[in-house]
């Protein structure tokens, strides 16, 4: 599917809102916690943040991505990746965790 500049901007706004929502409360309703590659990570479908996008005209109708993140403490959130909801979530989450480990080691 080919997204235009306006649709891309709306999607970017939604992703930013989802990250902001997680920064405020990493354990917010809709977060799912899983073990992946020896780490506990959160999964949060960005569609859950649709209603908090300021302008109705800016809302994405069908958000299809999940943020993979960690909340090492109550004051920070580390975004590990963004995966499509049709992907094998376990495998995609493992890849995100492994990529972050490679970058930080």
| pLDDT the model gives residue 2 | 58
Residue 47 · residue 59 · CB < 8 Å: no
Distance, in Å, from the CA atom of 82 to the CA atom of 41, rounded to the nearest integer, reads: 13
The count of structural domains within the chain is 1
| pLDDT the model gives residue 24 | 94
Q: What range defines the domain where residue 68 resides?
A: 5-104
Q: Tens-of-pLDDT digits for all 105 residues of the chain?
A: 556 888 888 889 999 999 999 999 999 999 999 998 888 999 999 999 998 887 777 778 888 999 999 998 878 899 999 999 998 888 888 888 888 888 887
Distance, in Å, from the CA atom of 34 to the CA atom of 91, rounded to the nearest integer, reads: 12
The alpha helices in the chain, defined as continuous H runs, are 5-24, 89-104
- Whether the full predicted model's pTM is greater than 0.95, yes or no, is no
Alpha carbon 104 to chain centroid, angstroms = 20
| pLDDT the model gives residue 92 | 87
């Amino acid at each position: 599917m080919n997204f235009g500049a306006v649709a891309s901007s709306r999607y970017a706004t939604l992703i930013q809102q989802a990250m902001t929502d997680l920064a405020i409360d990493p354990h917010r309703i809709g977060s799912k916690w899983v073990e992946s590659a020896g780490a506990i990570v959160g999964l949060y479908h960005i569609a859950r943040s649709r209603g908090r996008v300021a302008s109705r005209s800016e809302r994405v109708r069908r958000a299809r991505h999940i943020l993979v993140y960690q909340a090492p403490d109550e004051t920070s959130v580390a975004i590990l990746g963004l995966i499509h909801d049709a992907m094998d979530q376990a495998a995609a989450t493992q890849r995100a965790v492994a990529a972050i480990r490679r970058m930080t080691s």
